[in-house]
Amino acid sequence: MGCHKNYQGSSKMKITLVQPSMKVGRREFYGVAPPLGLCYIAAVLERSGHKVNIIDGMIEGSTHYEDNFRRIGMPVAGLASRIHDSDPDIIGISCMYSFMWEDVSRLSAILKDIMPDTLQVLGGFHPSALPEYSLENSSADCVIVGEGEETFRELADFYSGSAHFSDIPGMAFKNNGSIVLNPPRPHIRNLDSIPFPARHLIRMEKYIQTGKAPGSQKNRRFTTMLTSRGCPNNCVFCSIKTVWGQKWRPRSPENVVNEIEELVDRYRIKEIHFIDDNISLDKKRMADICELIIGRDLDISWTTPNGVAVNTLDRELLYKMKRSGCYQLAFGIESGNEHVLRRIIRKPISLSRTREVIRYAKDAGIWTHGFFVIGFPGETWEMIKDTLGFARDSGLDSAFFSIATPFPGTELYKLMFGEGMELDDFSKLRNMDAVTGTGNFTREEIVDIQRRLIRDFYMFRFRKEIRPDSILHRLKNIRSVSDFRFLTGKFSRLAGIW
């Protein structure tokens, strides 16, 4: 092992969990939200008797510009100082996005220099996809691969003298100059067994105040929740399986709504953003969640910013979702071309069914947003035009067109870079930029096409929205001040895009 402290026999560890700040492009939108992954791990560690501290670099400090990027939160050196002051026995650093890797590796090096005997643990999507690379290119001692709660608990218990690193599944670690990759850990089957996220360890009020963004939410007092993990689909660009796996695992409706009730009572939350990857896969569970929200008279609004699968929805369910407070749904449509959907992305949805679901949602009074992806290897201009045409003609209220990004752990990464190869600069992995050309287009052409699609879509929407019948329809759906605020914020924000 690469660490030097010996805590054999100690009953409790002091653990600091860290989310670094991030650098984003000037055209990129990233909101600030509680680090739920760290809060879940903290809750399990606390239940095991360990003392936990969470430092979120994104909520500390202020937004400023570095080179051609906008940094959200505290610079790396300041964050390292805060971690040092917390005097932990173990440091856990999250790296959720690959473009954060440069900062994470730099933070790791600084911490090892000023705290050489403190155990460093990396986790998140990037280290889970590339555990050996992450250890070889950082000063960290070990990586948690995949779901973090039970692995981190056992890791902390090792320092308490009850286990050995080689006995802990779901981990990679340095051992006398070599790297050991343990067998994978089975995913947690009963998510109800996990405590609610340890939000008492973070400054919830600051997230509520900082997270405001016109058009992104209806009520100002909002927060995020996760009601399920995993997704049975195998989209070529999706990296969620590196942590959550492909087997969909839901929490029970009662457990979900109990957490909502706690958020309403303790933090006066008025709106929930469900960040599941496939929240409505089980229609009955989704309907039961809605019924419980209505039955307990929780009076919340809610939305799905990460998207829902259109093939899981029908008219009856959408109307029930609306009655329970749903006001906006994002649909992961990805492409308006059947060949791209079936042969390249491998997403099992029907475009005709998607049009139906969009119409049902709009009839129910739900704002509809579509996610689309362009720039895949083999994709032609005609295929991309099909995507723009579908986005315009399907009736979507808004849409976003991202560029296919080969995140580590995805089939797209293997397709673009091959087995055993690593990208030399992970900061390029952003959905507003192209990593490389595709054969049909250069990198620069893909970026230009993306900008053109965004501009053309919103110019089309603007022409439709200023028609008298559209204005009347929008006005008829305004039921409250928050409805009006959401719509005006949405249109002002969208106007800024083009």
The model's pLDDT over 341-391, given as tens digits with 9 standing for 90+, comes to: 999 999 989 999 999 999 999 999 999 999 999 999 999 999 999 999 999
Three-state secondary structure call for residue 259: helix
How many Cβ atoms sit within 10 Å of the Cβ of residue 73? 22
If 0-12 CB within 10 Å is exposed, 13-18 middle and 19+ buried, where does residue 463 land? exposed
Mean of pLDDT values over 224-245: 93
Q: In what order do the strands lie in the sheet with 398-403?
A: 222-225, 271-274, 301-308, 326-334, 367-374, 398-403
Q: Percent of the chain having pLDDT more than 90?
A: 69
Output the pLDDT for position 474: 53
Check whether 112 has a pLDDT greater than 80.
yes
- Decide: 71 and 103 in contact? Cβ < 8 Å: no
Res 404: pLDDT: 94
Neighbouring-strand partners of residue 120 = 91
- Give the model's pLDDT for residue 491: 56
Q: What share of the chain is helix, strand, coil (3-state, %, to 5)?
A: 45, 20, 40
- What is the distance between the alpha carbons of residues 371 and 75, in angstroms, rounded to a whole number? 31
Q: Are strands 367-374 and 326-334 parallel, antiparallel or unpaired?
A: parallel
pLDDT computed for residue 9 by the predictor? 45
Q: Say yes or no to pLDDT of 436 above 60.
A: yes
Residue 490's pLDDT band, with cuts at 50, 70 and 90, is low
pLDDT tops 80 at residue 218? no
Rounded-to-integer distance, Cα 23 and Cα 310, Å = 32
Helix (H, G, I), strand (E, B) or coil at 263: helix
Is residue 61 within 8 Å of residue 75, measured between CB atoms? yes
> What is the reported pLDDT for 479?
62
Residue 125 pLDDT > 90, yes or no?
yes
All domains of the chain in start order, with CATH: 14-181 (3.40.50.280), 212-497 (3.80.30.20)
Tokens of 284: 């009955």
Choice among 23-37, 388-402, 473-487 with the minimum mean pLDDT: 473-487
pLDDT per position as a tens digit, 390-435: 999 999 999 999 999 999 989 998 888 765 556 667 877 877 788 8
Residues 454-471 have a mean pLDDT of 74
Averaged confidence pLDDT in the chain: 88
Q: In a 3-state reduction of DSSP, which class is residue 188?
A: coil
Q: pLDDT at residue 220 above 90?
A: no
For 289, the enclosing helix (H) or strand (E) is helix 283-295
Residue 174 tokens, joined: 């340095």
**Taking 90 as the threshold, does the pLDDT of residue 159 lie above it?**
no
C-beta neighbour count of 444 within 10 angstroms: 10
pLDDT of residue 23: 82
Beta bridge partners of 369: 330, 398
Task: State the pLDDT at residue 2.
Answer: 46
Kindly give the pairing relationship between strand 90-94 and strand 14-19: parallel
Residue of 470, 487, 469 whose CA lies nearest to 478? 487
Q: Three-class SS of residue 9?
A: coil
Q: What is the mean pLDDT of residues 18-22?
A: 93
283 φ/ψ angles, rounded to the nearest 5 degrees: -60, -40
Predicted confidence band of residue 480 (pLDDT cuts 50, 70, 90): low
Rg of the chain (C-alpha set): 23
Lowest mean pLDDT among 111-125, 320-334, 432-446: 432-446
Inter-axis angle of helices 101-114 and 76-85, to 10 degrees? 40
In degrees and rounded to multiples of 5, residue 22 shows phi and psi of -140, 150
- Cβ atoms of 36 and 272 within 8 Å: the answer is no
User: Which amino acid is present at 319?
Assistant: Y
State residue 429's pLDDT score. 82
Reading the block at residue 423, the tokens are 């990208």
Residue 487, pLDDT score: 54
Are residues 71 and 34 in contact, defined by beta-carbon separation less than 8 angstroms? no
- Residue 414: what are its φ and ψ, rounded to 5°? -65, -40
| Alpha-carbon 447 to chain mean position | 23
Closest residue by Cα to residue 460 from 403, 402, 397: 397
Predicted model pTM:
0.90
- Reference 169, options 149, 197, 189; nearest CA is 149
Q: What is the DSSP string of 85-135?
A: HT--SEEEEE--SGGGHHHHHHHHHHHHHH-TTSEEEEESHHHHH-HHHHH
